Structure 1
Amino acid sequence: MKINKVRIRNFKVFKDFLVDFSSSDTIVFDGPNGFGKTTIYDAIELALTGNIRRYDAMKRDLLDGRQTYTENPFFYENAAKEESISIQIQFTSNEKIFILERIAQSDLIGGLIDFKIYKLYSKTKFDDAERTLIEDEHSFLTEIFGKNYSSNFQFLNYVEQEECLFLLKNSDKGRKQHIAHLFDLKEF
């Protein structure tokens, strides 16, 4: 898979941001903290998997439900209440071009971290407003990316600054399991 373009609207620090990756095969984000590197990655992960795994882990490990929040951590702070969150992505997989858009409608955006409100659509042209809802996201994405696309996404595409020694920190058995998974080995 090769990502060609990503447009991010009303998501975290971006009001309307377009990034074009078509001129390069390898992308590395580098820069000071707070400039949106992780937000771009989060947007891509959300668009392609319907989830942001590190937020799921945070919700599971840190939030116990005793507090309620009125602001959504993903909604651009200066966006009008009637605006939606939209992440549009164009990529090539097996020589076929796909254009997808994941949208959280404004009336569903609340204070909770809930990825179920982000619906996936397919498009025929990147800049067109016309889109078609994908009813069975899992089957659609599995057909494009393979059966383990969601669990493989972070492992294959992202090295967190804090976790660059992830593999080395694991036990021998853990390292073998991760390497076997990466290369789809049955026995290692």
Structure 2
Amino acid sequence: MNDVYLSSINIEDFRTFGEFSVELPAAPGLLLLTGTNGLGKSSFFDAIEWALTGNIRRFTPYVSRQGNTVIPDRDYLTRNGADPDSHAVTLQFSEGESIRRSASQKPSAAEVAALLARPGRGQIT
């Protein structure tokens, strides 16, 4: 039984990112991001969280309601100047599986859990 590792991330028109891809070693390790304020470090991890869950927890208090209207994802996820709803994130895993989330592709929590689950490891909730 092999462990699952995140092996690449592709970010398109998401928050501060236009087109951005990074390859990661498919092995245990530590990822450090450094840079000045506003460079996109938090948005990088927001992209991973959004791809896996469809939400970004740190924005929940701000975007869940504006008056009585739910704020659409495109208003805070799509990069300024990009086509509306063009934001997308693809996560590739060590065994070839991938998850892609965009305005038109929204994997369910069950699909994500099934992709990441491994026999004998317990249930992902």
TM-score (ref. length: structure 2):
0.74
Does the 8 Å contact 2:9/2:90 carry over to 1? yes
**Aligned residue in 2 for 1:91:** 93
Pair 1:142–1:67, CA change in 2 (3 A): closer
Are 1:8 and 2:11 matched, yes or no? yes
Residue 119 of structure 1 and its aligned partner are, at CA, apart by: 1.3
**Aligned residue in 2 for 1:34:** 38
Q: By percentage of residues, which structure has more helix?
A: 1
Pair 1:2–1:56, CA change in 2 (3 A): same
Name the SS of the counterpart of 2:49 in structure 1. helix
**Aligned residue in 2 for 1:56:** 60
Partner Cα separation in structure 2 for residue 74 and residue 139 of structure 1: 23
**Aligned residue in 2 for 1:17:** 20
Are 1:138 and 2:115 matched, yes or no? no
Residue 43 of structure 1 and its aligned partner are, at CA, apart by: 0.4
User: Alignment RMSD, CA only?
Assistant: 2.7
Pair 1:38–1:98, CA change in 2 (3 A): same
Structure 2 residue corresponding to 1:47, chosen from 51, 55, 68: 51
TM-score (ref. length: structure 1):
0.52
- CA deviations 1:77-101 (Å, max 9, x no partner) are 12134x6211111013xxx331111
Matched letter for residue 78 of structure 1:
G
Residue 47 of structure 1 and its aligned partner are, at CA, apart by: 0.7
Does the 8 Å contact 2:8/2:22 carry over to 1? yes
Are 1:147 and 2:118 matched, yes or no? no
Unaligned stretches of 5+ residues in structure 2: 118-122
Name the SS of the counterpart of 2:96 in structure 1. strand
Name the SS of the counterpart of 1:140 in structure 2. helix
Higher relative contact order structure (alpha carbons within 8 Å, sequence separation ≥ 6): 2
Question: Where do 1:86-165 residues align within 5 Å?
Answer: 86-92=88-94, 96-105=95-104, 119-120=106-107, 137-143=108-114, 144-145=116-117, 146-148=123-125
- CA deviations 1:9-54 (Å, max 9, x no partner) are 1111111111111277210112211001011100001111221111
Q: Indicate the structure (1 or 2) with the bigger Cα radius of gyration.
A: 1
